[in-house]
Each structure stands twice: as C-alpha cells, then as structure tokens.
Amino acid sequence: MSMPKGYLASETSVHFMNYHFVWCPKYRRKLIVGTVESRLKELIHAKAKERGWIVLALETMPDHVHLFVQATPKDAPNRIVGAFKGYTSRILRQEFPELKSRLPSLWTRSYFVSTHGHVSSETIKKYVEEQRGI
C-alpha cells in the first residue's frame, strides 16, 4: 500500500504534520539583516536537523521570520517554535553582543502557527517565498 504524497510513516503512525510559524523580535525591531540574518538561517537549519524536522521554506524579513517546517506527531507546535526561538536567541545574543545591549530578550513571547489542512504544501511554500517581495 502506498501513502499519499507528503505523508511520512514511523513505527506507530502515518502523519503529515507541517506547520507555518511566524515570530518577531522584541518591539518588532528591524534587526534581522546582514550577518544576523544569515546566521539566523544557519541556526534554524541546524536545530531542525538536530531534532529531525525538515525545513520546507524559510524567509526572513527585517522584523519577522516565516518558517514552514515538517515535524512528527511527537512534537507539539509550542515546543517546536520554543526550540527555534530559544536556541537562536541564545546563540545570536552570544555572537552579536549589540543584540544583548539593545533588547532584554531577542524574541517576543508570541508567535503565529497554522497547519494547512485546506491548502497544499506548495501553496504555503509559495506564500512564504513571496514574503520577500512585499
């Protein structure tokens, strides 16, 4: 029996868990630029690889991050975004001391998350990639 496109199988489940996350720096500061932006992207990819998640699309704007990621049913969305935000905040603030002096914390506590039951993965990827053009 073959699975529909995009579905993954584990020992105990068949799943299709793709999340679209958006989060912002504290006070919506425009600091995701230059070397901070490129390092942030590296860190997001590294954390995803470490956790076994797949980055389907990633786009950054000076004042927010769009991430489309595939995970497993074992990973709750709040834990996924928390892992990305916590890890990137700690490393970026160590490597870029100016971020530490400007902000009490790098990211706001809030975030946006959605799943895509009614639209395709390709539609979400296209949306995330087109954010750069706004």
Higher pLDDT, 55 or 125: 55
* pLDDT band per the 50, 70, 90 thresholds, residue 15: confident
Residue 25 has pLDDT above 80, yes or no: yes
Angle at 49 between CA 39 and CA 73, to 5 degrees: 125
Q: Name the pTM for this structure.
A: 0.84
pLDDT value at position 86? 97
Of 27, 87, 111, 127, catalytic: 127
15-133: CATH topology is: Alpha-Beta Plaits (3.30.70)
How far is it, in rounded angstroms, from Cα 56 to Cα 44?
12
**Residues forming a β-bridge with 52:** none
H or E stretch covering 60: strand 54-61
Is position 127 annotated as part of the catalytic site?
yes
What pLDDT, on the 0 to 100 scale, is given for residue 103?
84
